[in-house]
Amino acid sequence: MNELDIIKIISKNLSYSTGVEKGIGDDCAVFKFENQHLVVTTDMMFKSTHFPKILTPFQIGMRVVTANVSDIAAMCAKPLGMVISMGFDNPDKKFIEEMSKGINFISKEYECPIAGGDTNKAPELTLCGTAFGITDNPVYRGGTIGEDICITGDVGKVNCALKLLEMKDKGILGNTKFEKIISEFPIMQKLAEPKARVKEGLLLNKSITSCCDISDGLSKDLNYTGNFEINSKKLLNSVSKEVVEFCEKYDMDLVNTVLNSGEEFELLFTTADFKKAEEKLKGVNSVTRIGKVVESGKTVDGKSMESEGYVHKW
């Protein structure tokens, strides 16, 4: 079974949803209160699957906040606060000190105070955040035929960074060579310290028609826009020269690398007015038009695209 199978079984049995404006199936659950909407998300992380060995305790703390706040940003909402539950197998004072400092540091940047949480014993480090946000106009998934599909920032660095770590773990690269490549290709930062696009989401609200964050990779997350037609030349306009050069050096397919780069936490959105969206983000972040929402099919350069992205499996 995978996570989609499990969610399908659970959602079938959750028939009571009084007061819920939007439930399972989007970046956040949504509740309406008079003229405002409360958006709520939760994200669970385990040491063995979510935290690359290269991460410091400080960066682990940053990551659990960023992953949750990114879902708030995807609704084009303002963060209100967050609670974090923590499970430890062998608590270490220094680790907990540094991790909590990382949590505090990034929560200040997002203006998302940590209001509490829970602690328990667990087989491995387990962090589960629940974040809350508010907006008068939640932006959901799903574009309209003819609209432009766009992304903020650049994509591909995370996939390249993971490839680099894989080569190190397999002994293909020694420590000296690994450090040299990191200095040659500054791609590790986005894996180690990704940022939620809170400011971008707030600025884009009312200028876009749908939105989600790129957490599982474009090849999976594009499905949330509807049927699509992606132009790889336009997509590659969002790619940094470091990613291009890294893929050339290590014989990686550039387009495939970009499409399957998860946990980028950029925003993927649709709009009927690209120029307006671009103007909204001027001086804040770049925005690239990569394709169109279409009536049928899911293609890249006219060829059917398989949804590869990340899916939890058992």
Rounded to whole angstroms, how far apart are CA atoms 84 and 131?
Answer: 9
Residue type, 226: G
312 a known binding residue? no
213 a known binding residue? yes
Rounded to whole angstroms, how far apart are CA atoms 261 and 38?
Answer: 30
273 a known binding residue? no
50 a known binding residue? yes
Residue 169, number of CB atoms within 10 A of its CB = 11
43 a known binding residue? yes
41 a known binding residue? yes
198, 190, 194: which is closest to 82 by C-alpha? 198
279 a known binding residue? no
Distances (CA, A) of 145 to 76, 142, 153, 296: 21, 10, 24, 9
263 a known binding residue? yes
Residue 303, number of CB atoms within 10 A of its CB = 10
289 a known binding residue? no
What string of DSSP letters covers 116-129? EEEEEE-SS-EEEE
Whether residue 258 contacts residue 155, with contact meaning beta carbons closer than 8 Å, is answered with yes
Distances (CA, A) of 27 to 83, 220, 241: 17, 14, 31
215 a known binding residue? yes
66, 26, 63: which is closest to 46 by C-alpha? 63
197 a known binding residue? no
261 a known binding residue? no
- Helix %, strand %, coil % of the chain (to 5): 40, 25, 35
Binding-site residues from annotation for Mg(2+): 27, 41-43, 71, 118, 213, 216
| Residue stretches of the annotated binding site for ATP | 117-118, 141, 215
Q: Which amino acids are annotated as binding site for substrate, given as ranges?
A: 50, 263, 310
From the annotation, which residues make up the binding site?
27, 41-43, 50, 71, 117-118, 141, 213, 215-216, 263, 310
